[in-house]
Chain A
Amino acid sequence: MRRSVALALTAIAAVLVALALGACGGSDDDNSSTGSTAESASTGSATAEAQSFDGQKVTFWIMNNGPHPVEDTEKILEPFEQETGIDVDVQLVGWDVQFDRIRNAAVSGEGPDVTQAGTTQVPFFAALGGFEDLSSRVADIGGESAYAPGIWGTSQVVGQDGVWGIPWFTEARTIYYRSDALEEAGVDPATAFTDLESMRATLEALKSVEEIGGKKIMPFGMPGKKAFDLVHNVMPFVWDEGGQELTDDNTKSAINSPEAVRGVKYIADLFPDGLADPSMLERDGTQVENQFKGGRLAVWIGGPWVLSSIDREDDTNWSDAARNNTGVAPMPKGPTGEANTFVGGSNLMMFKSSDVKDAAWELIKYLSQDEVQKEYAELLGMFPARLAPQEQLGQQSEDLAAFYEAIQTGRSYAAIPQWGQIENAYKTRFGNILDAAAGLGGEEYSEAVVQSQLDEAAKEADALLAQTAG
């Protein structure tokens, strides 16, 4: 009797453990798209025209784009689903976890069919080997010539032939300013930010404007190391001075070159000179954005989504004064005569493990139509990735024209798999420099601090570049 009880209990326990383990393993599968109906149609038949996609299911990962990511995307896809019969399962993967989730999906082969990915992530993901080379298909959407060069560049990986991510939507950084503050300081917005010197002079003049409508206002503010996009805001000034993130052959860091030091120092110098608000360094990107919206900063660097939020009544971060007096100007020109800015955004990547590649391509193709791009980008407050709709949007207002211009000349980083890690290393050091410049670091600010921090950044980047598969 006792024996049988013991046996029964052991058996129950074994079943429970098996169930629990199964449940653990199963949680990842929720997102996979192995619709059995799809399998037959996907691999075999040759041409897309001859194919019926009716009933096929494409799983599509998106990130938090705009205020209603899933609803917006589903709305955009409604006509597509009706037309093709493809069922698109839109799943939200937050920006905070998307890197891990996409990486794991690519490595394990258990994932969606199509995913959104940040432009600077594409080379890394592509190097994992879990993504489809789309070069044989891109003729369908006009190929390279349908995109601005800086944007098309984000679909490539250095040293690896192929097209790995189709640009979906775009953003670039420009100068946001308060026209009322500029007026009070006696600066003409048209010439206020033409080059680095005039930008500096503008900020100096804005020092005299201590408050507007009883609210204290600082000439300039930017987030520090808490902002995920700190490097995007600093690199334009490095490029302006003729510096680069890496050497031309991408084998060594160039962030400690004299040009790069000058570029970083230009931004850092704004702190000890009282032009930039040191308390912004404690905040992350969104918090500083809200400080500008709230009227505490006269000049700030930001992306197009802020411009589109001006008219939104439900964005209560805007103070009336800021809402009614915000202007946008292209980034300043450097001594090289170029006005550089960072151009980023998101691309669409197709998983190699997808069973419904042709249907997945239909989805990417649809999202790459000019009209669809324009409609979607407007919902997000971003720019379309394709040239034609970009141009249309750029003609709508002077402010949007500033973004259009920025995108055409915008740059991204070296398209190598290690870039994300190098960017992290640079971010840390840029953050240290800004902290020191604001008098908050461990050491006193000087050019030597900038140089030594950038030397450290270069050392770390070189070690990351030296990673090998061996």
Chain B
Amino acid sequence: MASIDTVTTSTGPAVPPDPPAQAGRARPRRGHGWRRDRFAYALIAPAVLFMVAIHLLPTIGGGVLAFKNLNTFTFSQLFGAPWAGLRNFEAILFDDANPLHNGFLTAAGNTAVYTVVTVAGVLIGGLLVALLLNRSFPGQRIVRTLMLAPWVVPSFVVAVLWGFMWQSDVGIVNKVLVDYTGLLDERPVWLLGPNSLWAIIIPSIWRGLPFCMLIFLAGLQAVPKELHEAAAIDGAGPVRRFFYITLPLLRPLIAVQLLIQVIYAAYQFTIPWIMLGTNPGEHADLLMTLIVRQSFSNNLFGFGAAASVIVMAAMALWVVVWLAAFRRDLEAQR
């Protein structure tokens, strides 16, 4: 998480691109270090202390527990439990005979699909809606406000509401698809089997899209009109103007959204847990639901900690890849 924070703050406020006047401003000189910046350190100290106490220490603690043999009989000893070496990691990643191994691979696969589809849906959908709402039309303000509605609904409520909507016999989704419009002949069952992954993906997109749209809308409104006008005079159609003007100018925003959304989706927990229960089943079990279930319901805290470390490493890797891919966009803003 720390790396995300530094990255997002270094990109500055989410409004592209900076006015040219600021672009060439020099960085402050490196001065006498400690003494000179003492006041700044004093101001930042509470935040740092707080982060260390409630964020860093538990993270390190979790890292230590990943190497402990923590189960029903030992978890009450916590840090005093016997060391397990790399056994937890081996069991999760390589041991075919261990049922946790299969569970982890299944959940990792589901999480990958969930993340890719959800993030793609949120970003593409958010951009499309932002483009639509960026035009002026009667009632534009009302529509914009309405579009934001899903964002203010807490995830918990989203999961409960959609849980009812998906019910195959009385849910509104099947009523629309089968009874009202006749699009389908048979009532699909959403909350069980392979469909259950879609039952959590669709509400996730529904909830994530408005925020993304809001950011893109702000970005679109900062795109200078003159650019579009000049391009139009040169004979560029709307599609070309989108790909050659709008999209490049939105790249920094897309980059930041991509980073945040991927991490948010990979750590999704509330929606499957509330909608599908403590065990969402093999088709919709995500990494976080698996880790929470095995740790807190089954007392396998060693497994949970090791799996969390693996997920954290994967996310760190994602941040590195992301940085490599978008570094230029972020620096261009300065």
A interface residues, Cβ below 8 angstroms from B: 2-3, 5-7, 9-10, 13-14, 16-17, 20-21, 24, 99-100, 106-107, 124, 127-130, 224-226, 228, 278-279, 281-284, 417-418, 420-421, 424-425, 427-428, 431-432, 435, 438, 440-442, 456, 459-460, 463-464, 467-470
- Complex Cα gap A281–B166 (Å): 13
| Residues B39 and A127 in contact, CB atoms below 8 Å apart | no
Sampled A-B contacts (17; CB under 8 Å): A6-B39, A10-B45, A17-B53, A99-B296, A107-B76, A129-B76, A279-B169, A282-B189, A283-B167, A284-B277, A418-B72, A420-B297, A425-B99, A431-B281, A440-B189, A464-B72, A468-B73
Q: Pick the residue among A5, A16, A107, A460 that contacts B39 (CB under 8 A).
A: A5
| Residues A440 and B193 in contact, CB atoms below 8 Å apart | yes
| Residues A470 and B69 in contact, CB atoms below 8 Å apart | yes
Q: Is B299 an interface residue, CB under 8 A from the partner?
A: yes
Given contacts A10-B42, A282-B191, contact A21 B53 (CB under 8 A): yes
Q: Is B24 an interface residue, CB under 8 A from the partner?
A: no
Known: A428-B279, A428-B281. 17 other contacts (CB 8 A): A2-B38, A6-B38, A7-B42, A13-B49, A17-B53, A20-B50, A100-B296, A107-B76, A279-B167, A282-B190, A417-B73, A421-B72, A421-B297, A424-B298, A441-B193, A442-B282, A459-B99
Give the nearest-CB partner of B188 in chain A: A440
Q: Is B61 an interface residue, CB under 8 A from the partner?
A: no
Min CB–CB distance B294 → chain A (angstroms): 9
- Complex Cα gap A463–B279 (Å): 19
Task: Tell me the residues in window 260-284 of chain B with beta carbons closer than 8 Å to chain A beta carbons.
Answer: 276-279, 281-283
Main secondary structure of the interface of A (DSSP, over half): helix
Min CB–CB distance B160 → chain A (angstroms): 12
Give the nearest-CB partner of A466 in chain B: B71
Q: Is B173 an interface residue, CB under 8 A from the partner?
A: no
- Complex Cα gap A159–B298 (Å): 21
Q: Pick the residue among B98, B194, B278 that contacts A463 (CB under 8 A).
A: B98
Please, which residues of chain A bring their CB within 8 A of the CB of B190?
282
- Complex Cα gap A453–B288 (Å): 24
Q: Pick the residue among B49, B72, B192 that contacts A281 (CB under 8 A).
A: B192
- Closest 6 pairs between A and B when the two form their complex, measured CB to CB: A13-B46, A460-B99, A469-B73, A6-B42, A440-B193, A282-B191
Q: Is B74 an interface residue, CB under 8 A from the partner?
A: yes
Min CB–CB distance A28 → chain B (angstroms): 15
| Residues B49 and A424 in contact, CB atoms below 8 Å apart | no
Please, which residues of chain B bring their CB within 8 A of the CB of A427?
279
Please, which residues of chain A bring their CB within 8 A of the CB of B12?
none
Please, which residues of chain A bring their CB within 8 A of the CB of B191?
282
- Complex Cα gap A387–B235 (Å): 92
Give the nearest-CB partner of A5 in chain B: B39
Min CB–CB distance B333 → chain A (angstroms): 32
Min CB–CB distance A109 → chain B (angstroms): 10
B interface residues, Cβ below 8 angstroms from A: 38-39, 42-43, 45-46, 49-50, 53-54, 69, 71-76, 82, 98-100, 166-169, 189-194, 276-279, 281-283, 293, 296-300
| Residues B168 and A279 in contact, CB atoms below 8 Å apart | yes
Q: Pick the residue among B39, B74, B168 that contacts A2 (CB under 8 A).
A: B39
- Complex Cα gap A70–B107 (Å): 40
- Complex Cα gap A172–B283 (Å): 33
Please, which residues of chain A bring their CB within 8 A of the CB of B45?
9-10, 13
| Residues B42 and A9 in contact, CB atoms below 8 Å apart | yes
Give the nearest-CB partner of A456 in chain B: B99
| Residues A469 and B282 in contact, CB atoms below 8 Å apart | no
Give the nearest-CB partner of A96 in chain B: B278
Give the nearest-CB partner of B192 in chain A: A440
| Residues B43 and A9 in contact, CB atoms below 8 Å apart | yes
Min CB–CB distance A421 → chain B (angstroms): 4
- Complex Cα gap A282–B281 (Å): 12
| Residues A224 and B192 in contact, CB atoms below 8 Å apart | yes
| Residues A225 and B74 in contact, CB atoms below 8 Å apart | no
Give the nearest-CB partner of A224 in chain B: B192
- Complex Cα gap A228–B76 (Å): 25
Min CB–CB distance A71 → chain B (angstroms): 27
- Complex Cα gap A460–B300 (Å): 13
Give the nearest-CB partner of A99 in chain B: B297
Give the nearest-CB partner of A467 in chain B: B71
Min CB–CB distance A158 → chain B (angstroms): 14
Please, which residues of chain B bring their CB within 8 A of the CB of A438?
192
| Residues B282 and A432 in contact, CB atoms below 8 Å apart | yes
- Complex Cα gap A6–B37 (Å): 11
Please, which residues of chain B bring their CB within 8 A of the CB of A106?
76
| Residues B281 and A435 in contact, CB atoms below 8 Å apart | yes
Please, which residues of chain B bring their CB within 8 A of the CB of A467?
71-73
Give the nearest-CB partner of A227 in chain B: B277
Please, which residues of chain B bring their CB within 8 A of the CB of A442?
193-194, 282-283
Q: Which of B69, B99, B192 has its CB near the most chain A CB atoms (within 10 A)?
A: B192
Please, which residues of chain A bring their CB within 8 A of the CB of B69?
470
- Complex Cα gap A421–B279 (Å): 12
- Complex Cα gap A326–B43 (Å): 70
Please, which residues of chain A bring their CB within 8 A of the CB of B82?
469-470
Please, which residues of chain B bring their CB within 8 A of the CB of A20?
50
Please, which residues of chain A bring their CB within 8 A of the CB of B276?
226
Please, which residues of chain A bring their CB within 8 A of the CB of B281?
225, 428, 431-432, 435
Given contacts A21-B53, A442-B193, contact A417 B99 (CB under 8 A): no
